[in-house]
Amino acid sequence: MSLLILGIESSCDETGVALVRSPSGPGVPTLLAHALHSQIAMHQAYGGVVPELASRDHIRRVLPLTEAVLAEAGHLLADVDVVAYTRGPGLAGALLVGAGVACALGASLGRPVLGVHHLEGHLLSPFLSVDPPEFPFVALLVSGGHTQLMRVDGVGRYTLLGETIDDAAGEAFDKSAKLLGLGYPGGPALSRLAQEGDATAFKLPRPLLHSGNLDFSFAGLKTAVLTQAKKLGDDLDARRADLAASTEAAIVDVLVRKTLTALKESGLQRVVVAGGVGANRLLREQLNAACARLKVRVHYPELHLCTDNGAMIAMAAAMRIAAGRQSPEARYAFDVKPRWPLDALDAPPAAEAAHPA
């Protein structure tokens, strides 16, 4: 049976709402409409996300965005069959806004609700693209808070291959940008500046590149950028673009080479890249070139769906329902999971207890 699913995303500093229709038979769900509000301008004055302000802004935005999405799709709220929301991970207060609104809407409509894992939303977001992937594949999840390599055999069938032991790739971009005086949000600013610089100007470390496993570490790179910036002193302004380019090259080099190792070890012939860092131009160029040589397919979300958005939440909900991994329920008491490892998503209770929320 075809379902109309409303998805709400509010895990951090973007409020996203989308409407997705699941197919009545085999196939990929269809995105009917989505709307997104970014809080970047509000948080710039503070140099980063202020959780309380983020939560308050979600409250202001979520219902007007919902109305806009329904109007664009030509549907009424009463047409919605399931209300999906991000249950975690993320900022607790921000998550509570989305969960509360979703459950209130579900209760008022008499419709079931479904809590979605934020990272699963990113993981499945390339299925919204014009070139959706097929299972199985290696997934590189790269965002502001997460860097992971996963083997994905189907919806809810995820095996963790490696993850960051400290800073995520997105944090490495943002923190390095701050050290270079580029403000917030730093990652996109650093990437833009890097296009003007020489990526070979500074020899920066590639942490854990030869570790023998698929884990990541970017904290040492951030320290190296700080050390190099201090060495440059008054010359930093003149060499800022070179240092930005060298920093970006180091991060991308690690991501690409670890992904290629994951492909080799798994024997798979398909890669999915998801998360905000997946929009990075250099990462796409280098990964595309490397995979073309290996005759490996690479899939990305559409650029406008790389950041947090409601479409990926509605999509993940539709795919979980279709795969029989989860059923929406008319239960409106809710909780959120600010810390929620993806590999614990479908784990039995005993295993999930080993990953406390």
The residues pairing with 36 across neighbouring beta strands, listed in sequence order, are 16
Q: Quick check: bond before 338 cis, omega within 30?
A: no
> Going by C-beta distance under 8 Å and a sequence separation of 6 or more, which residues neighbour residue 206?
221, 250, 253, 254, 257
Question: What is residue 357's predicted lDDT score, i.e. its pLDDT?
Answer: 44
> Going by C-beta distance under 8 Å and a sequence separation of 6 or more, which residues neighbour residue 210?
none
Distance CA 117, CA 156 (A): 10
Q: What is the 3-state secondary structure (H, E, C) of the chain?
A: CCCEEEEEECCCCEEEEEEEECCCCCCCCEEEEEEEEECHHHHHHHCCCCHHHHHHHHHHHHHHHHHHHHHHHCCCHHHCCEEEEEEECCCHHHHHHHHHHHHHHHHHHCCCEEEEEHHHHHHHHHHHCCCCCCCCEEEEEECCCCEEEEEEEECCEEEEEEEECCCCHHHHHHHHHHHCCCCCCHHHHHHHHHCCCCCCCCCCCCCCCCCCCCCECCHHHHHHHHHHHHHHHHHHHHHHHHHHHHHHHHHHHHHHHHHHHHHHHHCCCEEEEECHHHHCHHHHHHHHHHHHHHCCEEECCCHHHCCCCHHHHHHHHHHHHHCCCCCCECCCCCCCCCCCCHHHCCCCHHHHHCCCC
Question: What is residue 141's predicted lDDT score, i.e. its pLDDT?
Answer: 96
Other residues' Cβ atoms within 10 Å of the Cβ of residue 247: 29
As to burial, measured by CB atoms within 10 angstroms (0-12 exposed, 13-18 middle, 19+ buried), residue 150 is buried
The residues pairing with 35 across neighbouring beta strands, listed in sequence order, are 17
Prediction pTM value: 0.93
Distance CA 318, CA 155 (A): 11
Distance CA 73, CA 67 (A): 10
Distance CA 211, CA 233 (A): 33
Query: Digits of tens for pLDDT over the chain (357 positions)?
Result: 899 999 999 999 999 999 999 988 888 999 999 999 999 999 988 988 999 999 999 999 999 999 999 999 999 999 999 999 999 999 999 999 999 999 999 999 999 999 999 999 999 999 999 889 999 999 999 987 889 999 999 999 999 999 999 999 999 999 999 999 998 888 999 999 999 999 999 999 999 999 999 999 999 999 999 999 999 999 999 999 999 999 999 999 999 999 999 999 999 999 999 999 999 999 999 999 999 999 999 999 998 899 999 999 999 999 999 999 999 999 999 999 999 988 888 765 444 444 444
Question: What is residue 156's predicted lDDT score, i.e. its pLDDT?
Answer: 94
